[in-house]
Every structure is written in C-alpha cells, then in structure tokens.
C-alpha cells in the first residue's frame, strides 16, 4: 500500500505562481537594467554596489545566492570574482536568470528549489559564502528553518551575508494625506514572526513595466511574514553562526512609501538607487546588513 504524497504547503504554491508571473515582467522592466548588464561587463546591481564595501573578499570564493530571482545580484557577485550558484523557488525566475547569465557571458549555475530544501537540491555541497539579498526573508514562514538551511550550505569558516528590508519597515504602512491630515506612517503589521501569514491579493508588482501597462499577473495572491531582527540574529546564532557585523540603514533600494520618500542621491531620478524618508529619516531603520561566520 503506497502512501499519498504530502501536499505542498499553500504558501509555496501561491508564491511560486506569483513569482512565475513576475519574472518576465521584471526581466523587461527598466528597474532591473537587463540591457545595461549585457552591454557593460563591469556593471553591478544597485544592491551589490551599495554593499560592496561590506562584502567579504570574493575572488575565487564559492558562493550560493539563495532566493536569487533574476540573478542580477548573482551575476554581480560573479563579476567581482566569486564562482556563483543561484537557487530560487520560481522556475520562471531561474529561466530568466539563466538567460541573463548566457547573454552576459558570466557563468552561473542555477537550481530550482525552495530555500528550505537548498541543502538537498545542492547535493549537500557547502560553500564559502551564502548570500541573501533584498526582499527575501519576508517570503519565509520560519526564520529558524531558514537559518538551518543557511548553516547547512556553509562549511566551517564560511560566511553568510544578508541585506534585507528591516522588519520595522515591514511593519509600517504609508497613509496618504487626507484634507488637513498630513501623510504619515503607522505601525500596521506584525514586527515579529507569526504563525499565520499576511495574505495579499494584488495584481501589481513593485517595478514599473517597460511600456507602462499593468503587469500581466494572474496569480495575484501571496503569503508573507515579518521576522524581528532579534529573531533572525538568534536563529543564526543557534545554528552555530557567529555574528561579525550588524548594521541598520536609513535607506532601502526601492520606494516602499510613495510620496513620503526621496532618493538619497538626487541624480537617481529613474527610481534606481537608495531611498530614505523625506522627513524623519533618523527615526526608523529601513534595511539592515548582517555578516556572520559558521564556526
């Protein structure tokens, strides 16, 4: 008698469908600078450029980028000397990432898998570097299971580097101006991890399409979670990862609160680069950088 296969968790099914829809839209969007990556072998993503002074030495490093999406950060790390592997839940994202790698002439290996299954999907290989970049942790129901997956991909002495949205930013909602009431931010969502996800039903994505038309997203439902900064750090500590650096930033490489933010560099008029609050930028952290070592 054969047992029925275990059903896939709902969050994986709905989030994969959404990211499969987003992948071709993002690949064509000016935000991701596809044509510039192909035309300029020295071009790096805005995220990697921001963190370049904080990254460990990359020349000759074997690295894996978990939740790599289109691979723009992955290719950027490879251009800085690392031998990179990228892993993502979305087959459509990985398809686009492989295409970018080919068109750039920058070799990167890509694997389709959920981050919690990374060790098995990578055949038990361990790496010098695990890299995690913007907008990754919010899709995970358990930061402890994520930390276990990270540690399993690192050999002793390997480093983990994370730059992501600060959980304080994730807990805020922008409220537009209404009559005499000015625009403001309010704490509207959980700061710490919850059992149940935040469920969203939205047909848009976070980048403008190439032609300005609404994105063709049919899988509109997503599930996401916030994770407190302490929870994230402690989860890594409990998996034998020593904390080497923790930095909170007043900026983030997109505009989460339209009408209440401004580019850090006024020359970034095309939406690229870092954004901070127009008023009160010293009151809340919007992103963070974490560097640790597997002991």
Residues 6+ apart with CB under 8 A from 221: 14, 18, 199, 200, 201
Separation between Cα atoms, residue 87 and residue 157, nearest integer Å: 21
pLDDT at 270: 64
C-alpha 74/C-alpha 133 separation (Å) is 10
pTM (2 d.p.)? 0.94
Dihedral sign for Cα 80, 27, 205, 115, please: negative
3-state DSSP helix/strand/coil percent for the chain, to nearest 5?
30, 25, 45
The pairing of strands 184-187 and 221-224 is unpaired
Assign 150 to helix, strand or coil: helix
Map 67-103 to HEC letters: CCCCCHHHHHHHHCCCEEEEEECCHHHHHHHHHHHHH
Would you say 163 and 288 are in contact if contact means Cβ atoms under 8 Å apart?
A: yes
Per-residue pLDDT tens listing for the chain (295 residues): 566 677 899 999 999 999 999 999 999 999 999 999 999 999 999 999 999 999 999 999 999 999 999 999 999 999 999 999 999 999 999 999 999 999 999 999 999 999 999 999 999 999 999 999 999 999 999 999 999 999 999 999 999 999 999 999 999 999 998 888 888 999 999 999 999 999 999 998 888 877 777 778 999 999 999 999 999 999 999 999 999 999 999 999 999 999 999 999 887 766 678 999 999 999 999 999 999 999 9
H/E stretch holding 32 reads none
**Per residue in 35-59, is it b (16+ CB within 10 Å) or e — as a string?**
eebeeeeebbbbbbebbeeebbebe
Judge contact between 107 and 68, C-beta under 8 A.
no
Nearest by Cα to 206 from 260, 253, 153: 253
What is the pLDDT, as a whole number, of residue 211? Answer: 75
Neighbours of 234 (CB within 10 A): 15
Architecture of domain 10-165+189-254+287-294 in this structure = 3-Layer(aba) Sandwich (3.40)
Q: How far apart are CA 294 and CA 215, in angstroms?
A: 41
Name the token pair of 76. Answer: 């950027």
Tokens of 254: 């997109």
- Please state the φ and ψ torsions of residue 81, each to the nearest 5 degrees: 115, -5
Instruction: Note whether 157 and 293 are within 8 A (CB).
Output: yes
- Residue 55 CA to residue 48 CA, distance in Å, equals 9
């Amino acid at each position: 008698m054969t047992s029925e296969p275990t059903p896939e968790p709902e969050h994986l099914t709905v989030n994969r469908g959404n990211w499969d829809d987003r992948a071709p839209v993002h690949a064509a969007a000016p935000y991701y600078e596809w044509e510039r990556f192909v035309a300029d072998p020295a071009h790096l993503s805005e995220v990697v450029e921001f963190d370049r002074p904080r990254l460990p030495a990359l020349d000759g490093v074997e690295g894996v980028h978990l939740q790599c999406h289109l691979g723009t950060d992955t290719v950027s790390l490879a251009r800085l000397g690392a031998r990179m592997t990228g892993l993502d839940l979305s087959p459509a994202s990985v398809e686009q990432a492989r295409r970018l790698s080919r068109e750039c002439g920058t070799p990167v290996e890509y694997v389709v898998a959920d981050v919690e299954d990374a060790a098995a999907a990578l055949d038990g290989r361990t790496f010098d570097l695990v890299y995690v970049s913007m907008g990754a942790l919010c899709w995970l129901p358990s930061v402890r299971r994520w930390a276990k997956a990270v540690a399993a991909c690192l050999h002793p002495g390997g480093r983990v580097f994370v730059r992501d949205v600060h959980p304080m930013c994730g807990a805020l909602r922008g409220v537009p101006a209404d009559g005499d009431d000015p625009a403001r931010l309010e704490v509207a969502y959980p700061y710490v991890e919850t059992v149940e996800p935040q469920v969203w039903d939205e047909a848009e994505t976070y980048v403008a399409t190439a032609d300005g038309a609404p994105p063709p997203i049919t899988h509109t439902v997503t599930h996401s979670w916030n994770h407190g900064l302490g929870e994230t750090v402690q989860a890594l500590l409990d998996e034998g990862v020593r904390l080497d650096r923790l930095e909170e930033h007043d900026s983030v490489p997109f505009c989460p609160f339209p009408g209440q933010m401004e580019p850090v560099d006024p020359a970034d008029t095309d939406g690229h680069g870092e954004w901070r609050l127009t008023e009160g930028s010293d009151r809340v952290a919007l992103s963070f950088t974490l560097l640790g070592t597997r002991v």
